[in-house]
Amino acid sequence: MGVADRLEFRLLGPVEVWRGPERLVISSRHQRSVVAALALRPGRVVSVSALVDAVWEEESPPSARRQVIKLVSRLRGVLGDAITTRSSDYVLNVEPDQVDVGVFESSVARARQLSATDPVGAAAAVREALRLWRGPALSGVTPGLAVQATRLEESRLAALEDGVDWELAVGGHAALVAELTVLVTEHPLRERLVGQLMLALNRSGRTTDALEVYRRTHERLAEDLALAPGVELQQLQVAILRDDVTLAAPVSPPAPAPRSSVAVPRQLPCAVAAFTGRASQLEELTGLLDRKDTVVISAINGTAGVGKTALAVHWSHRVADRFPDGQLYVNLRGFDPSGQPVQPAEAIRGFLDALGVPAPRIPAGLAEQAALYRSQLAGRRILVVLDNARDTGQIRPLLPGSARCLTVITSRDHLGGLIVSEGAHAVPLDLMTTAEAHDLLARRLGPERLAAEPHAVSDLIELCAHLPLALSIVAARATLTPVLSLTELSRQLRDVRDRLHALDIGDTSVNLSAVFSWSYRTLSTAAARMFRLLSLHPGPEISVPAAASLTGTDRDRAHAALSELTRAQLLTEPSAGRFAYHDLLRAYSAETAQQEEHEQARHEAMHRMLDHYVHTAHAATLLLNPPNDRLPLTAPEPEAHVEEFTDEEQAWQWFTTERPVFPAAIDRATDAGFDTHAWQIAWSVANFCIRAGHWTQMVTTQLVAIGAAERADDPHGLASSLRELGRAYIRLGRYPDAQASLHRALDLDERLGDLIGQARSYNNLGIVSYAQGAHPEALEHGKAAYALFHKAGHQAGEAEALNAIGWMQTQLGRHADALRSCTRALELHRAVGSRHGEADTWDSLGYAHHNLGEHQQAADCYQTALDLYQKLGSRHPQADTLIRLGDTYHDAGDFHAAQRCWQRALPILDDLRHPDADILRARLAEHPPAP
């Protein structure tokens, strides 16, 4: 098995399984428990009963054995033949060194053997072993493995205590005080740690503090356990009180003689010309120089072309004088077009040559070379720059062991393993800010040229996606062709299909397609396909289910591919489970899709993705408004993923998160010939847009939907889209446009014989008439809508129409009639489960009671409506109800309460940019609360 295929089981922290650089997806706690139970006994038989105990602890269900067998079967799909069956039980066929527990235990055992002759080496070996711990052992599993977790924690503490003993034995007391203070705080009744802290304090001249530690421990044992300290701790206290000479620190060995002739390497590449920006990252790196008594590693990571090497080299030259013993540099070629990264042995050999080690003294094995390399750096202040690293495995042998050295690493990989196990300090490098990008162009082209075409400069920065490499290429193009204006250059770049070619200046080392390809070629087959097909998604971000739909794989495999792309810096993860990339990477992704994916495969991927959005949005809108009409959707493609929601809150959150995707998805659907999908997605998100106040977006999407329905020759879709457009126009106060759309929809509905469509159009026409002050006409529209809904047997529609009728009756002064109409509407809304309809009707009832002078009843009704609107996320109705509730309080003489309601409504209207905001602001100014 090669290194890339080698399985590693990590139990000393969250339970994880890795195959080479890839973390395998093991999604459930029960599966992780089975993995952990098997990995704790590698190569040995584990019975089904033992696995049942590991998963369920005590009360296992009757089906436990069957469930365990299913869990193992699923794990085999991930781990392959690593799990085998032996007499109906199971064996994990891996070596102990493939499990971090085995590595830890064997390392500690060797350290204990070494301690008698080399306590320094033994202590260092234990410290190295303890780096394997990433948190509490066996995290993320079921309680059935609690005993094993406790055993492992005890092993960790015992090893730590041994290591501390060996460090105390060689005079390391001063450096241990801080660590032991924390450990004793965490484990106050662990007497061996307490004694070690007392000894370290005493040897550091802090006898009083040492005795105070004993006193606190004595009190804690007495209070918690009714016990006295053990004999050893009591004897240590007496020895400290007597100033016993046996407690004195050992005499330090003499310092090694200074080297007579030591090579001082100066390997840094040339300083970066015209470097600009990255002030915060430079400051962060410089801050690392102040850290003492620890090996400092800085890992600069970021996407291709973001300027990682430029930053590392520029900073290294700035601080080179702080490293008088030299600077080592190697380009590890982790993402080189040759595909051949530098091997650690080759890099170490180069470093040893630079350090002046004679060739005959350099051993053959990597481990021996690494030990010699670290010995050469011991006690010296050297800066080590490891540029363009592929992964953690390539880096580890090159890390110094001396706290006087500092290592700077650049990589497109996140190097998460290095951060966890080596304590590396991550310096993520993102795209440039607008100001930084402007400075870069100004340094390359001169401020005068930029000042002459400021709009073109802004366009170039955006078209280059703020990527330093792209900006540098643009500057080179402009320099090489001075007759080419920046405006013309931006015009050439604006066509995304030609953007990568427009940024080609004939040098593969700075050609964006080539640079991106170096990362692309390192991907697994699944991740590469994911990268290609992501170009079909309109952005700006994609979820795991949408990505799984694109590739036609399950969610776990899709997430694994997305995670690999993120580690390769070809994607970012702006929020948990959502992924994105910048426009230039999108262009490269589209280029690879065009070259490597057949047209039919691209078409099928687009179909699955659009199915995901239309079916998920349709399910969500029905959950938000249960009596809503259903679309006659065709069944989704088998490998499209439709999300399921258990409540309105989940549906609302999905709409809120995906809202930026909808307009682009509708456009992408029309461009690809999926016209039915286009208008159906627009319809499915319409209710959310109405309630959340995204009316302008709704106009845009419905205009596209109308064109799509016309091309699809779908009169029902056209009528629905026209009706939704009319609703959006109403909210924006564009009443003539609303009337035109609604009348056109009504004509279509009448020709189609669609009673419900006609009723909905009349309902909305009633709202337009009401908004224009034509209340009798609005009432007639409401009655027409009710008659059509009643004829169609549509109770939810009847309820909406009755509420509209009741509202119009209040406008005509018929408040008692309004109460009857709205009470009946409320009953129907409850019968069909329309909470939004209930909220609207409670608001109407409040208005009727208010006009009857029944202020308390009105306030109660408004508050009920407001509570419902808030739960439903309906923003504009909240503002309307708050205003009317304020009017009620004002008329009842409670001016402070009125002001509070109006003030709560104002920011909602301002946020929606609603014209009523200015009217409300004027009212607040005219009616200040009474003193």
CATH number at residue 385: 3.40.50.300
Mean pLDDT of 853-863: 94
Q: Is 131 part of any domain?
A: yes
Confidence of residue 391 (pLDDT cuts 50, 70, 90): confident
Q: At residue 33, what is the residue type?
A: S
Q: Is the pLDDT score of 509 beyond 60?
A: no
Q: Supply the pTM of this predicted model.
A: 0.56
Q: Percentage of residues in the chain with pLDDT exceeding 70?
A: 92
Same domain, 365 and 446: no
pLDDT tier for residue 724 given thresholds of 50, 70 and 90: very high
Instruction: Answer yes or no: do 481 and 530 share one domain.
Output: no
pLDDT at 80: 81
Q: How far apart are CA 215 and CA 1, in angstroms?
A: 57
Comparison of pLDDT for 388 and 926, the residue scoring more: 388
104-163 pLDDT tens trace: 998 899 888 888 888 888 888 888 888 888 888 888 888 888 888 889 999 999 999 999
pLDDT score for 58? 65
Q: The domain containing residue 559 runs over which residues? A: 514-597
Question: Considering the domain boundaries, does residue 288 fall inside one?
Answer: yes
Same domain flag for 825 and 738: yes
Assigned domain for 908 exists? no
> Are 560 and 680 part of one and the same domain?
no
* The pair of three-digit structure tokens given for residue 497, joined into one six-digit string: 């299909």
Give the count of beta carbons closer than 10 Å to the beta carbon of residue 4: 11
> How many degrees, rounded to 5, is the angle at CA 225 between CA 224 and CA 226?
105
Strand 578-580 to strand 425-428: parallel, antiparallel, or no bridges (unpaired)? unpaired
Residue 923 has pLDDT above 50, yes or no: yes
User: 667 with 769, same domain?
Assistant: yes
Is residue 623 assigned to a domain? no
Mean pLDDT across 244-253 = 68
Task: Indicate if 688 and 792 belong to the same structural domain.
Answer: yes
Of the listed ranges 44-53, 80-89, 543-552, the least confidently predicted one is 80-89
Give residue 738's pLDDT: 94
Residue 873 lies in a domain: no
ω into residue 915 within 30 of 0, thus cis?
no
* Rounded-to-integer distance, Cα 197 and Cα 835, Å: 64
For 308, phi then psi, to 5°, come to: -65, -50
The Cα 528–Cα 732 span in angstroms is 45
Indicate if 148 and 10 belong to the same structural domain: yes
pLDDT at 40: 92
Tens of pLDDT along 862-882? 999 999 988 877 788 899 999
Mind listing the pLDDT tens digit for each residue in 653-665?
899 889 889 998 9
Contact 429, 301 (CB under 8 A): yes
Q: Please indicate whether residue 147 or residue 494 has the higher confidence score (pLDDT).
A: 147
Using the 8-state DSSP alphabet, how is residue 754 labeled?
A: -
Residue 177 falls inside a structural domain:
no
Residue type, 681: I
Residue 316: inside a domain, yes or no?
yes
Beta strands, E only, 332-458: 383-389, 406-411, 425-428
Based on the structure, what is the number of domains in the chain? Answer: 6
Q: What is the model's pLDDT at position 259? A: 40
pLDDT value at position 499?
58
Mean of all residue pLDDT scores within the chain? 85
Write down the pLDDT at residue 929: 55
pLDDT of residue 736: 93
Pick the more confident residue, 498 or 103.
103
Cis peptide before 454 (omega within 30 of 0): no
Is residue 606 in a domain?
Answer: no
Count, in order, helices (H) and strands (E) of the chain: 43, 14
- Binning pLDDT at 50, 70 and 90, where does residue 294 land? low
Question: Could you tell me the CATH number of the domain that includes residue 694?
Answer: 1.25.40.10
Q: What are phi and psi of 330, to 5 degrees?
A: -145, 135
- For residue 282 the two structure tokens come to 């430079």
Residue 727 has pLDDT above 60, yes or no: yes
Lowest mean pLDDT among 242-246, 338-342, 473-477, 719-723: 338-342
Mean pLDDT along residues 214-220 = 89
Q: Residue with structure tokens 């090579």?
A: 263
CATH number of the structural domain spanning residue 11:
1.10.10.10
Whether residue 261 has pLDDT greater than 60: no
Closest CA to 7 of 125, 102, 73: 102
- Residue-wise pLDDT for 364-380, tens only, equals 777 778 888 888 888 78
Q: Which of 116, 138, 170 is the last residue of a domain?
A: 170
CB 206 within 8 A of CB 187: no
What is the predicted pLDDT for the residue at 257?
Answer: 36
Per-residue model confidence (pLDDT) at position 338: 45
Same domain, 496 and 543: no
Joined together, the tokens standing for residue 623 give 């959950």
d(CA 334, CA 330): 11
- φ, ψ for residue 398 (rounded to 5)? -95, 0
Task: Indicate the SS3 state at residue 637.
Answer: coil
Last residue of a domain, one of 851, 867, 883: 867
Angle between helices 795-811 and 755-771 (to 10 degrees): 20
CA-to-CA distance for 217 and 35, rounded, in angstroms? Answer: 40
| Same-domain check for residues 710 and 815 | yes
530 plus 673 within the same structural domain: no
Give the C-alpha separation, 737 to 728, whole Å: 10
Model pLDDT, residue 195: 92
Is residue 505 domain-shared with residue 396, that is, in the same domain?
Answer: no
pLDDT in tens, 631-686: 989 999 999 999 998 888 888 889 988 988 999 899 999 999 999 999 999 999 99
Banded pLDDT at 624 (limits 50, 70, 90):
confident
SS3 for 573-627 is: EEECCEEECCHHHHHHHHHHHHHHCCHHHHHHHHHHHHHHHHHHHHHHHHHHCCC
Least confident of 3-12, 194-203, 288-297: 288-297
Distance CA 6, CA 501 (A): 40
Phi-psi sector, 658: left (phi>0), alpha (psi -120 to 50), beta: alpha
pLDDT category, 75, cuts 50, 70, 90?
Answer: confident
* Gap between the Cα atoms of 189 and 294, Å rounded: 29
Which pLDDT score is estimated for 282? 84
* Residue recorded with tokens 């495969």: 601
- Residue 473: closest CA among 554, 551, 584: 584
Q: How many CA atoms lie within 13 A of 586 on its CB side?
A: 20
The amino acid occupying position 266 is: R
Contact present, 195 and 236 (Cβ < 8 Å): yes
Q: What CA–CA distance (Å, rounded) separates 676 from 657? A: 24
- Rounded to an integer, what distance in angstroms lies between the CA atom of residue 915 and that of residue 34? 61
Q: Provide mean pLDDT across the span 722-749.
A: 94
**Spatial distance between the Cα atoms of 759 and 797, rounded to a whole number of angstroms:** 8
C-alpha closest to that of 50 among 63, 36, 62: 36
Residue 564 CA to residue 444 CA, distance in Å, equals 35
Domain stops at, among 197, 231, 250: 250
Question: Do residues 341 and 333 touch, judged by C-beta distance below 8 A?
Answer: yes
Are 367 and 494 part of one and the same domain? no
